[in-house]
Amino acid sequence: MIVMTKESLQILKEQDVILFRNRVKEFATKIGMSLLNQTKLITAASELVRNMLKYANGGVVILEIIGKDRVTGIRLTFTDKGPGIADIRLAMKDGYSTGKSLGLGLPGAKRLVNEFDIKSEVGKGTTVTIIRWKNGI
Amino acid sequence: MKNQSLKFLQKSKKHLLETWMSNQMEDQALREDLMSNDELRNQSDELLTALLKTLNSDNIDNTQSKDFEQVSGILSDISVSRARHGFSPRETAQFVLSLKQALTQTLEKEYTDDPKVLLDSYIAINKLIDSLNIITFETFIKGREEVIIRQTDEMNEISTPVIRVWEGVVALPIIGTLDSMRTQIVMENLLQEIVNTGSTIAILDISGVPAVDSLVAQHLLKTVSATRLMGAECIISGIRPEIAQTIVHLGIDLSHIKTKASLASALKLAFSMLNVEVKRVEKNRQNNG
């Protein structure tokens, strides 16, 4: 896998979400991603970034354009130093939320992207990595 | 800084003002289009008078002290007003920095023979003007931020109009991202307008919402529930194909809500709910006549 473009963004307040989303859109347009896949990626990114703000008071996102076997895609890595998730299996279940929301953020985001990886350690923080390929289903 | 050189500065106030003014006039960054020279002179005079009155050998090192309240007040007013008038940060900083030049030039002329006093006052003046400059900077940015906050408020206000499209039907086109604060405004406006117009149907158009994530959906659901509590029915329109697919993948259940692809079809649904029919009238009379 090769990384073609890399950028990192600080997310500290709600206004940063819009800025970040526009940046993701720019990246997606740059590699010629279809409107549907763009919307899916942006929505997934939006869910994860909101989680980061809500539970960990912000963090850092790394945006990358990556290539593998002649396909291009976008990889987003969300890193925070929040409280961490005690039970990832439970957090990935539809409708489970500790914060009075719909409980669709994490499982929904997973369904919207091609690759999804979550690592968390209680008291240390959480890292979520998602990849959406240009023409992946 | 010695009292002696301070006294000298206080005595030569008039000369100082002239030097400062001519420094400002020579500067490339002079903005006669934004502020007249008379106004500039008044500002400079006010600041210089206050500064010279405040200064004594004890407080010159400490601009945070109470003595400087008046000076920093004047300075803040100046930089805030400059920020609002559209001065650049460079131009605003230059205003204070050119005073430093005027002060040092005047001292230089007087104390050419006494390098020790000159150096001493030089250092003191440098420190003083630098901290004044920091005040200018802080307040300039604060002034700009106030402008941004005001614009955000205005944008929130104007971006949520409730339109009465028919007797008993109100529509609310939402443009931009729905965050918690906007949802609050949208909901308040909508509910108030339902009361004012006695409407029974409300159409929420989300064509202008770039992305519907679970938070936005949750806000929409809340708005719909509140509308229902008021005895009105809510239709969500403007759901684009890619948004529809994304909502399904996210797993959001909107099946108990009436949704339509366009505002036109939502209006049609509203008409049928109100038992109103829109017909094309044949213009027979014109042909006959």
Pair B10, B150 in one domain: yes
Among B104, B135, B155, give the residue marking a domain's end: B155
> B189: which residues sit within 8 A by CB, 6+ positions away?
B160, B161, B162, B172
Structure confidence at residue B288 (pLDDT): 55
> Would you call B241 an interface residue with chain A, using a CB distance cutoff of 8 Å?
yes
> Would you call B159 an interface residue with chain A, using a CB distance cutoff of 8 Å?
no
Of the pLDDT bands very low, low, confident and very high (cuts 50, 70, 90), residue B286 is: low
Is B99 contained in some domain? Answer: yes
Structure confidence at residue A62 (pLDDT): 94
Of the pLDDT bands very low, low, confident and very high (cuts 50, 70, 90), residue B83 is: confident
What count of Cα atoms within 13 Å lies in the side-chain half-sphere of residue A63? 20
Test mutation, B153, B214, B215, chain A, max A CBs within 10 A: B214
Is B279 contained in some domain? Answer: no
CATH of the domain at B106: 1.10.490
- Counting the structural domains of chain B, the total is 2
Of the pLDDT bands very low, low, confident and very high (cuts 50, 70, 90), residue B159 is: low
Structure confidence at residue B155 (pLDDT): 75
Pair B186, B236 in one domain: yes
Q: Give the C-alpha separation, A59 to B109, whole Å.
A: 56
For the segment A17-38, the average pLDDT, to the nearest whole number, is 90
- Indicate the residue of A94, A102, A112 with minimum beta-carbon distance to B246: A112
Pair B108, B91 in one domain: yes
Of the pLDDT bands very low, low, confident and very high (cuts 50, 70, 90), residue B41 is: confident
Pair B227, B172 in one domain: yes
- Domain locations in chain A as residue ranges: 2-133
Pair B173, B193 in one domain: yes
Structure confidence at residue B289 (pLDDT): 46
For the segment B133-140, the average pLDDT, to the nearest whole number, is 86
Is B286 contained in some domain? Answer: no
Among B122, B155, B188, give the residue marking a domain's end: B155
Closest CA to B190 of B148, B156, B232: B232
Q: Is B90 exposed, middle or buried (0-12, 13-18, 19+ CB in 10 A)?
A: exposed
For the segment A63-91, the average pLDDT, to the nearest whole number, is 90
Mean pLDDT of chain B: 84
Whether residue B80 has pLDDT greater than 90:
no
Pair B228, B249 in one domain: yes
> How far, in Å, are A75, A112, B147, B156, B226 from residue B235 at the CA level?
37, 26, 37, 22, 13
CATH of the domain at B213: 3.30.750.24
Three-state SS across chain B?
Answer: CCHHHHHHHHHCHHHHHHHHHHHHHHCCCCCCCCCCHHHHHHHHHHHHHHHHHHCCCCCCCCCCCHHHHHHHHHHHHHHHHHHHHCCCHHHHHHHHHHHHHHHHHHHHHHCCCCHHHHHHHHHHHHHHHHHHHHHHHHHHHHHHHHHHHHHHHHHHHHCCCCEEEECCEEEEEEECCCCHHHHHHHHHHHHHHHHHHCCCEEEEEEEECCCCCHHHHHHHHHHHHHHHHCCCEEEEECCCHHHHHHHHHHCCCCCCCEECCCHHHHHHHHHHHCCCCCCCCCCHHHHHC
pTM of the entire structure? Answer: 0.67
Chain A residues near residue B246 by CB distance under 8 angstroms: 36, 39-40, 43, 112
Q: Which residues of A touch B (CB under 8 A)?
A: 14, 17-18, 21, 35-36, 38-40, 42-43, 46-47, 50, 94, 101-102, 104-105, 107-108, 111-112
Q: Give the C-alpha separation, B215 to B142, whole Å.
A: 32
Expressed as residue numbers, the domain containing B204 is 163-273
Chain A residues near residue B250 by CB distance under 8 angstroms: 43, 47, 104, 108, 111-112
Contact at CB, B214 and A47, closer than 8 angstroms = yes
Task: Find the Cα–Cα–Cα–Cα dihedral B225, B250, B181, B208, rounded to 10°.
Answer: -90
Pair B24, B96 in one domain: yes
Chain B residues near residue A14 by CB distance under 8 angstroms: 179
Is B280 contained in some domain? Answer: no
Tokens of B154: 């205005």
Is B151 contained in some domain? Answer: yes
Pair B17, B138 in one domain: yes
Which is more confident, B7 or A37?
A: A37
For the segment B163-185, the average pLDDT, to the nearest whole number, is 84
Q: Give the C-alpha separation, B255 to B244, whole Å.
A: 12
Architecture of domain A2-133: 2-Layer Sandwich (3.30)
Whether residue A76 has pLDDT greater than 50:
yes
Range with the poorest average pLDDT among A62-66, A67-71, A100-104, A120-124: A100-104
